[in-house]
């Protein structure tokens, strides 16, 4: 059985997934699958309104040429998440 990348609660309603190995290589398909799963869940007939969740997604990959430490990576991911949030509301 393949081990999955860990998920951490980052604060409030934010979560961080630290992708590694195969998961990191598949980041675009994992994000697409997560969005597709959320959309399918929101479109399910008969669910109560509070079960219809949404999520803004942003990610950044550590780049030693740009990132001094992990905080910089989180800042870039956070910026990408807020941009996604604005796109989904627009």
Contact 25, 5 (CB under 8 A): no
What SS3 string covers 7-45? EEEEECCEEEECCCHHHHHCHHHHHHHHHHHHHHHHCCC
- Domain ranges in the chain are 7-89
Q: Render pLDDT for 33-80 as a digit per residue (tens, 0 to 9).
A: 999 998 898 888 888 888 888 899 999 999 999 999 999 999 999 999
pLDDT at residue 72, as a whole number:
95
Entry pTM: 0.79
């Amino acid at each position: 059985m393949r081990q999955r990348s860990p998920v951490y609660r980052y604060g409030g309603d934010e979560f961080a997934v630290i992708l590694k190995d195969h998961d990191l290589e598949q980041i675009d398909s994992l994000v697409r699958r997560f969005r597709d799963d959320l959309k399918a869940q929101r479109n399910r007939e008969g669910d109560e309104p509070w079960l219809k969740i949404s999520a803004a997604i942003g990610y950044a990959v550590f780049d030693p040429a740009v990132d001094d430490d992990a905080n910089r990576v989180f800042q870039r991911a956070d910026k990408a998440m807020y941009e996604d949030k604005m796109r989904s509301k627009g």
